[in-house]
Amino acid sequence: MAASFGVSSAAAANAVKSPALSPPSLPVIRSEARPISCRVNKSRKAGKITTKAVAAQAENPASAASKPGHEVLLFEALREGLEEEMERDPRVCIFGEDVGHYGGSYKVSKGLADKYGDLRVLDTPIAENSFTGMAVGAAMTGLRPVVEGMNMGFLLLAFNQISDNCGMLHYTSGGQFTIPTVIRGPGGVGRQLGAEHSQRLESYFQSIPGIQMVACSTPYNAKGLMKAAIRSENPVVLFEHVLLYNLKERIPDEEYVVSLEEAEMVRPGEHVTILTYSRMRYHVMQAAKTLVNKGYDPEVIDIRSLKPFDLYTIGNSIKKTHKVLIVEECMRTGGIGASLTAAINENFNDYLDAPIVCLSSQDVPTPYAGTLEEWTVVQPGQIVTAVEQLCR
């Protein structure tokens, strides 16, 4: 093969043989302005955190005048995250279909193959089961592959590798091997893409022990979650959404990482807790505008972490509002909403004034026709109605 492999053998060899990472010195963003009470680890201190979800660097009076950060689209934010991690750690590599020369079907890995070579940004044949298995095998030796499913739905072909090998090897080997893979890709209902290309795999993967699942929804958390997922020693499945790739937002110039297990407070409120994630966050915020005009004060939380649930943030919210509405894109049966409902009922039953309402997509294959597709997923109007009923 005449391709250039962009990793020097010495660097890679050293990196592979000494997996211990020095702790990063960059700030971690917490999404809530509440002091932490630490009962588990005595070395942590209780302290206040910034209310804004922006990197808490020392104030520089000179830069205060100009607007901080730079504007990116969500797919560019993902790419920035990937690129920064690949720069930082030579063990990070990408496996996927058309990620290299083509630049990624959603341009997430554009330019990376030119920069890092064909071995680090590997164009695979159409063999999801095997290249996911290869990623797991490579991860067992210490590499940190990022596997891209061109559409999340295709990863159903790799289900065995994801559940048995990715998720369970750390346990069945008695802790000998860690599998620091990231499995990412776009999923969710798009614009008339048809049933097989509109799948929500979070409901299928959620029972797999040993993996973590996160869903990004803004350019800010997309970059932060991508970086955190790559640095995590656990296998992480990062769910992106086909329709959110072109969202624009201003993100910080400084390096930042967000926590994989934390939910994001989108809009604090008093009347009802609305839990959502990924694209439905935007439907909820649209409904929230209407609700505010009608005099309601919803608290909107983007749960972000689908496995494990951030019951701390969610619980504190429920203790305040006593009413819960879950808005998700998964299907009603066996979806994330179903599990979240069960978890909340189990843990916070005393705080609920009303049964939990869960709005999910219909239990049907996503139809092609535009109107039918619209009725499959939850629309803002339905959210408004549900809140009104809940808060009666």
Partner 1 sequence: MAQLIRRAAALNKSLPAASFAARGLATASTSSITVETSLPFTGHNIDPPSRSVETSPQELLTFFRDMALMRRMEIAADSLYKAKLIRGFCHLYDGQEAVCVGMEAAINRKDCIITAYRDHCIFLGRGGTLLEAFAELMGRKDGCSKGKGGSMHFYKKEGGFYGGHGIVGAQVPLGCGLAFAQKYSKDESVTFAMYGDGAANQGQLFEALNMAALWDLPAILVCENNHYGMGTAEWRAAKSPAYYKRGDYVPGLKVDGMDALAVKQACKFAKEHALKNGPIILEMDTYRYHGHSMSDPGSTYRTRDEISGVRQERDPIERIRKLVLAHDLATEKELKDTEKEVRKEVDEAIAQAKESPMPDPSELFSNVYAKGLGTESFGADRKEVRTVLP
Residues recognised as catalytic: 128, 197
Interface of this chain with partner 1, residues 222 to 241, rule: CB under 8 A: 228, 231-234
Give the contact letters, 109-148, x = binds to partner 1 (CB under 8 A), - = no.
Answer: ----------xx-x-xx-x-xxxxxxxxxxxxxxx-----
Interface of this chain with partner 1, residues 7 to 66, rule: CB under 8 A: 7, 9, 12-13, 15-17, 23-24, 28, 30, 36-41, 44
2-10, 192-200, 270-278, 361-369 -> range binding partner 1 (CB under 8 A): 2-10
Burial of 53 (0-12, 13-18, 19+ CB in 10 A): buried
Give the contact letters, 292-331, x = binds to partner 1 (CB under 8 A), - = no.
Answer: ----------------xxxxxx-x----------------
CB-CB contact of 323 with 356 (8 Å): no
User: What Å distances lie between residue 342 and 78, 171, 364, CA to CA?
Assistant: 32, 26, 22
User: What Å distances lie between residue 82 and 77, 120, 263, CA to CA?
Assistant: 9, 12, 22
The verdict on 355 binding partner 1 (CB under 8 A) reads no
CB-CB contact of 284 with 249 (8 Å): no
**Least distance from partner 1 to the Cβ atom of residue 266, Å:** 17
In terms of CB distance, is 23 or 295 closer to partner 1? 23
Q: State the DSSP string of 82-135.
A: HHHHHHH-TTEEEEETT-SSS--TTSTTTTHHHHHBTTTEEE--S-HHHHHHHH
The verdict on 178 binding partner 1 (CB under 8 A) reads yes
Q: How many residues bind partner 1 (CB under 8 A)?
A: 79
The verdict on 106 binding partner 1 (CB under 8 A) reads no
In terms of CB distance, is 125 or 295 closer to partner 1? 125
The verdict on 213 binding partner 1 (CB under 8 A) reads no
The residue type found at 184 is R
| Tally of residues, the chain | 392
Tokens representing 311?
A: 């019951």
Interface of this chain with partner 1, residues 243 to 262, rule: CB under 8 A: 257, 259-262
